[in-house]
Amino acid sequence: MTDGAVDFVVALGNDGVVTDTLVEFPSGRLVIRSGGGWTYKFFAEEPNWATTTDGHIMYGTNDNYWIGMSDGSGNLVRVTTKFYEPQAISEADRAVVVGVMAEGMQGLGLPAAAIERGLGTLQFAEFYPAFHRLLSGPRGSVWAQSVTVVDSLSEQDRNTLGDFPEGIETLESNPHLLFGSRNWDVFDADGRFLGEVTMPARFTPAQFVGEEIYGVWKDELDVEYMMRLKVVISE
């Protein structure tokens, strides 16, 4: 969260002591320590990583569509890429985000002065990220979540962006969580692009178990339920 900071994915022994550094990459730029406070830069580059069932690690930084796969010793064994044409973040996009943030903070009962200070810390990247989040899927597949283009959302979906049921602490720790799309790019175990899968509305996938995916679905009252979906794979 400061200039030059580096993130690590490390292996731990049974005693909790670090035994090896598996992946190293620059820290994300979404939340930056600035003077005595914090600056939020929406859609800034962020490192992403996820583990696989066979002990490998998928990782990448979402300012470009490059996803590495390393083994349990940190050796790069595969790279998954996809053509990505950066999409500029428009003034309309910025206005939607600022409006949603203001409404969300008002809904949390924050005083006007605190809301004004919070909005004053907002910055924006020039382009949308190449992807949002990574998941390890069945048969060695790689699933990469797309990023929501906010100006394309319906009024109802824009209102959903302003729902912060976990509280302001979650919003402050990672505002980027608000902008994951329902659409996921799927690649096979050899890195070939298979197509796009659209998740059900109001469903947030958590992890695959075999050829099923578990996650959280919210009803119209934001009551959460665990949901299991089966992935049907065509041979």
Render pLDDT for 60-82 as a digit per residue (tens, 0 to 9): 999 999 999 998 778 899 999 99
Span of 59-68, 148-157, 181-190, 192-201 with lowest mean pLDDT: 148-157
Decide if pLDDT at 23 tops 60. Answer: yes
Residues 142 and 229 in one domain: no
Count structural domains, the chain. Answer: 2
Residues 79 and 23 in one domain: yes
For the chain, give the percent of residues with pLDDT over 90.
Answer: 32
Residues 163 and 221 in one domain: no
Half-sphere exposure of 112 (CA within 13 A, CB side): 0
Residues 115 and 168 in one domain: yes
- pLDDT for 142 equals 94
- pLDDT for 17 equals 93
Residues 36 and 47 in one domain: yes
Decide if pLDDT at 59 tops 80. Answer: yes
- pLDDT for 40 equals 80
Mean pLDDT within 219-224: 82
Q: What pTM did the predictor assign?
A: 0.83
Rounded CA-CA distance 5/18 in Å is: 19
Phi-psi bin for 195: left (phi > 0), alpha (psi -120 to 50), beta?
Answer: left
Decide if pLDDT at 174 tops 90. Answer: no
Which of 223, 109, 104 is CA-nearest to residue 172? 104
- pLDDT for 185 equals 96
Residues 221 and 138 in one domain: no
Which of 105, 93, 84 is CA-nearest to residue 171? 105
Residues 99 and 178 in one domain: yes
Give the model's confidence band at 157: pLDDT under 50 very low, under 70 low, under 90 confident, else very high: low
Give the model's confidence band at 169: pLDDT under 50 very low, under 70 low, under 90 confident, else very high: very low
DSSP 117: H
Residues 39 and 81 in one domain: yes
- pLDDT for 34 equals 66
Single-letter amino acid, residue 41: K
Single-letter amino acid, residue 189: A
Rounded CA-CA distance 78/60 in Å is: 12
In a domain, 1, yes or no: no
Residues 38 and 141 in one domain: yes
Q: Which domain holds residue 98?
A: 6-198
- pLDDT for 110 equals 82
Residues 229 and 192 in one domain: no
Give the model's confidence band at 188: pLDDT under 50 very low, under 70 low, under 90 confident, else very high: very high
Decide if pLDDT at 152 tops 80. Answer: no
pLDDT tens for 119-140 read: 888 889 999 999 999 999 998 8
In a domain, 42, yes or no: yes
Average pLDDT over all residues of the chain: 83
Residues 51 and 146 in one domain: yes
Rounded CA-CA distance 2/38 in Å is: 10
Residues 97 and 207 in one domain: no
Give the model's confidence band at 164: pLDDT under 50 very low, under 70 low, under 90 confident, else very high: very low
